[in-house]
Structure formats: structure tokens, C-alpha cells
Structure 1
């Protein structure tokens, strides 16, 4: 599977794992130490071929994603859930380098472009009604919804914004909520 866009990852181990999964070029941010020179390379990559931001599903990964989003508009974003990115077989760690080849391919196939112009149909009340904000199960439900919609885990405020910037329709949201509820009732 060939990826036209350049994939932005955090480090060398991520690049190695990506190259096992797909035929693609990468830019490494060297962890959260992303600097101006790296941001300039990402801007050039976005202009020439497009960019997919694919960072680890943790705080540093989200921080890098947010920095890139602020400096380089219209990037695509790919996400792994924490479960998909946890090290296996007695190893420790969380990141793309620990994910299966299949999980990486699926995440890249579902990469979505972020846009700021869309004003979504999904309200705060919709999030509250679905138990995604407030309450003891909200965090675990946001993890499930993020995985189902392939937009990654977020807190409540970030979820509302991400639903908008990835232009998730109310129908797709409601279907994901229905599926989440069915899984919980099993």
C-alpha cells in the first residue's frame, strides 16, 4: 500500500514500523522537541504532497499534533487507540512503534482532513445525552467513541471541537453512540 502524503511521526522507531506497514515517506519530530526547522519541513511537505500527522495516543503526541495544526493548516490526521498502541509480550510503552501493521494500515486509510470552517450539527447537549461529558463513565465512553469514529481519544471539550473539525455528521455520531451502547449492553 503506497501513501502519497508524507507521514509525520515522533521518532525513528515509528518510521521503521510505518515502513513495515506501508510504502511511505516520513518526517520525524524527534518527540515533543519539535522545532521551527521541522515545522518548515512539514509546511513544505504539505504544499508539495500533503501531510498525515500520526502521533502516539498520549499527552506528548497530542501536544505535537496541536503544534503542527497551529502552524500547518489542512493536514490529514490518523489516530490509533491506546489499546492498539500498547506494547505487547512483556514490553513496556505506548506508541505507533508497538501497534500492529494492520492497525497502522487501517488508521492511515481512515486519515481525515481537519478543517476549521465547519460548524457541526452536534451540540453539547448531544454529548451530555450520550454520557460523553460529566459522569463516571464519560472518559471510557469518549475512548470508545474516538475509536469508533477514528478521531482518537480526547477530553469533553476537545471531543466537541474534533467532531466539528473532522466534519463528523450527526448521523455518523448517532450511529457510533448506538454502537457504543450496544457494546456496553453485551
Structure 2
């Protein structure tokens, strides 16, 4: 049984999570998260911890941001769009048990304070790596997001996630080497 409560968008996501692992969930009911749901998530964070596991689409990212801004110290699980796709539908409910298990094994934790001893990634590092202001930036962020386990997002959000999850320069460079070997 997973100790933390897993935050998902809806009932189908709960079914998929419970099919893949033993865990309790809190459903947001979509992107219009009300105060009562946020209060339940805050209580769960205090008592057991929470893992945000939303769909790898715009609405899922919006929900993730809302919860993260109101509930500090959350953990995050990510699926790729490929893992969560079935026909024209993208969602946790479409992922295989194995993909869900892997995402939960590779959960990332938000850090409330930055470790000053770790060399942080700069905006310039993202530019130099072709992750922003580059013809292939979105594709490169998608691939590096998979390698680092932080999911896909736009350039600004990618930078924030690198900071939030304290991705080191060494991890970043190793990830870049992996995606460049694929090209």
C-alpha cells in the first residue's frame, strides 16, 4: 500500500490507479478545484503526504499548478503523453498498470527551500541545451522531461520544475547526453 494519498482528476483515474497499485485517492473533479477539495488535500498532506498524478495535458498541468501553489511539499508522478494516450484521449485512465507503477516508483518531491550547495540550472543552461528559443525546443523538452522524470511542459515551467525538484547540473547534463545519443 502506498502511504501517500494520490491526487487524480476523476473516477476513471482512481480505477486505473487502484488497478495498478494499492493506494487511496482524492479526486479533484476536474480543473475547477473547490475549497473543500483543497482542504482535503491539505489534510492528507499533513497526515500522510500527497502525490499529484494528473493527466499529461493542459488541464492536468493547470490542476497540478493550482494544488502546488496551495499545498506545499507535494510529490509528483508523471506519465508521458504516449503512455497516457488512447485514440484521441489523453489521461491517467489510459495508462498501463506498468506505466502507472513506474511513474509512482519515480515520484519527484518539491523542495520547499533550495539547497545552496547544489549547483542550480540557469535559464542560460536551457537556452544552451536547445530547450528554449530553438526550432526543436518542444521535442527536446519532451525527451529530457522523460529522462529526468519531470514530465513535459513549456520552457518556463520546465525551468521551474528543474528548480523545484532540485535537478543538479550533473543530472541535467547526463539527461542531455542520453537524448543526444537518440538523435
Q: Shorter chain as normaliser: what TM range?
A: over 0.9
Q: Secondary structure at the match of 1:182?
A: helix
- C-alpha offsets along residues 10-65 of structure 1, whole Å, 9 cap, x if unaligned? 00000000001000000000111210000000000001100000000011101100
Q: Within 2, Cα distance between the matches of 1:122 and 1:70?
A: 22
Residue 111 (str. 1) matches residue 110 (str. 2): no
Cα deviation, residue 116, structure 1: 4.0
Q: Within 2, Cα distance between the matches of 1:65 and 1:53?
A: 7
Moved more, 118-127 or 61-70: 118-127
Task: Please report the TM-score for the alignment, with normalisation by the length of structure 1.
Answer: 0.94
Q: Within 1, Cα distance between the matches of 2:152 and 2:111?
A: 18
- C-alpha offsets along residues 141-186 of structure 1, whole Å, 9 cap, x if unaligned? 00001111110111111111110100111111100000000011xx
Q: Within 2, Cα distance between the matches of 1:98 and 1:64?
A: 18
Unpaired segments ≥5 residues, structure 1: none
Q: Within 2, Cα distance between the matches of 1:162 and 1:66?
A: 11
Q: Within 1, Cα distance between the matches of 2:166 and 2:125?
A: 15
Could you tell me which residue of structure 2 aligns to residue 76 of structure 1?
A: 75
Task: Please report the TM-score for the alignment, with normalisation by the length of structure 2.
Answer: 0.95
Q: Within 1, Cα distance between the matches of 2:64 and 2:156?
A: 16
Q: Within 1, Cα distance between the matches of 2:31 and 2:48?
A: 24
Unpaired segments ≥5 residues, structure 2: none
Q: Secondary structure at the match of 2:59?
A: helix
CA RMSD, Structure 1 to Structure 2 (Å): 1.0
- Runs of at least 4 residues off by over 2 Å: none
Q: Within 2, Cα distance between the matches of 1:127 and 1:92?
A: 31
Aligned residues: 180
Q: Within 2, Cα distance between the matches of 1:78 and 1:6?
A: 12
